[in-house]
Amino acid sequence: MKIISVVGARPNFMKIAPIHRAIQNYNIQYPASTIHHQVCHTGQHYDEKMSKIFFKDLGLPQPDFYLGVGSGSHTEQTAKIMLEFEKVLLKEKPDLVIVVGDVNSTVACSLVASKLNIKIAHVEAGLRSCDRTMPEEINRILTDSISDFLFVTEKSGIENLIKEGIPPEKIFFVGNVMIDNLIQNVPKSSNSEIFSNLGLMKGKLVHPYVLITLHRPSNVDSKEYMERFFDMLRRLSENRKIIFPLHPRTKKNLDANGLLENLNEQIILTDPIGYIDFLALTKNAELIITDSGGIQEESTYLGIQCITVRNNTERPITVEVGTNQLIGTDLMKVEQAALHVINGKIKSGRIPELWDGKTSERIIDILVGKAQFVELEQEKLISNN
């Protein structure tokens, strides 16, 4: 069996790494029927700190194909990926393409595979924010509609896909590959030097801090909103240190609007941070304020308080059972919720079903037709619908 996995943007690398490991393990276990696995990097993210560092941190092999598409409008980026990926598929003729998440590379590569009648597995299928102004929502809906294997992280995903008319026999509730990766790397993160590098050590202890990440265009493209966001950070920094690694989009906008000047030393802005160091920062944060998708899940797994600065989430399980609070974009409410946490009023949570570190193994078992437990789950799913 020949598989090509696609990575493009930062949140993809940590999802393909555990799948690659599961394939390697499968090949050791079943040498007579090995899977030939290749990785294609579209180059959607290309900065050292948005891409290369993750290959090193996650032990991913160098990509077999690098499409080098870079930035551009969504249409331009998607079209360039399609043109280049078609050449790869025509030459390699894989049996299956694996795509993850919801970025432009996900939809572009699925569409090419579908036009060439190559089977598609979508990992992290079925998530819906129900907000079609988000480019990622369009990418999710389109990718799911043409995929052959839809691997779901939480039960809301099954319901969404059934509502959209996806045949139940294509849907597999397997858990979360990103959590496989997190579990594998937590021990390594204990040796991170990020705390001393950022001046966060108080003797042998880490100074309490709030970790911030913000990159959604709907938040960071508005000068007025970011001004008010920094006013909030200044007030929060009276009580806590603030660590804010800047996504390139965020940095560009803050720079252009002169918002990076006159910050106090309690607010520490950094370049994007590698996987292991960021995991260390997540694990030890008192609170995270974010608009990311993946960080809502990682904080839920680690039991860390998380405030999501968005009006919707495609990952409702993190709010239903996890430590995530979906506060919306009203900064008065965000500040109030942050102060509650800092003053000790925390939300308790538990780990969602099947987020157990074995998701990639389940996926490979299904792809090679060796999954007995899944057949039972599938029978239930099909008979319930």
The site for ligand UD1 (CB under 6 A) is made up of 9-11, 44-47, 50-51, 71, 102-104, 135-136, 215, 247-249
Q: Which is nearer to ligand UD1, 9 or 109 (CB)?
A: 9
Q: Which of 216, 220, 198 is nearest to 11 (CA)?
A: 216
Distance in Å, CB of 93 to ligand UD1, minimum = 27
- And the tokens for 274? 């590698």
Distance in Å, CB of 44 to ligand UD1, minimum = 5
**CA dihedral of 259, 265, 266, 267, whole degrees rounded to 10:** 30
Catalytic residue among 74, 215, 247, 340: 215
Distance in Å, CB of 316 to ligand UD1, minimum = 18
Distance in Å, CB of 381 to ligand UD1, minimum = 28
Element (H, E) at 195: helix 194-197
Q: Which is nearer to ligand UD1, 96 or 99 (CB)?
A: 99
Residues 6+ apart with CB under 8 A from 207: 200, 201, 241
Q: Which is nearer to ligand UD1, 76 or 330 (CB)?
A: 76
Distance in Å, CB of 342 to ligand UD1, minimum = 27
User: How far is 160 from 156, CA to CA, in rounded Å?
Assistant: 6
**Can you state the angle between helices 294-302 and 177-189, rounded to 10 degrees?**
60
Q: Which is nearer to ligand UD1, 195 or 244 (CB)?
A: 244
The side-by-side arrangement of strands in the sheet containing 2-7 is 65-66, 36-41, 2-7, 96-100, 119-125, 149-152, 171-173
Q: Which of 127, 123, 125, 89 is nearest to 109 (CA)?
A: 89
User: How far is 289 from 60, CA to CA, in rounded Å?
Assistant: 29
Q: Which is nearer to ligand UD1, 46 or 230 (CB)?
A: 46
340 catalytic? Reply is no
DSSP 313-364: -S-THHHHTSSEEE--S-HHHHHHHHHHHHTT-PPP--PPTT-SS-HHHHHH
Strand partners, 308: 290, 326
- And the tokens for 147? 């995929």
Distance in Å, CB of 81 to ligand UD1, minimum = 10
Q: Which is nearer to ligand UD1, 241 or 310 (CB)?
A: 310
- Name the residues annotated as catalytic: 215
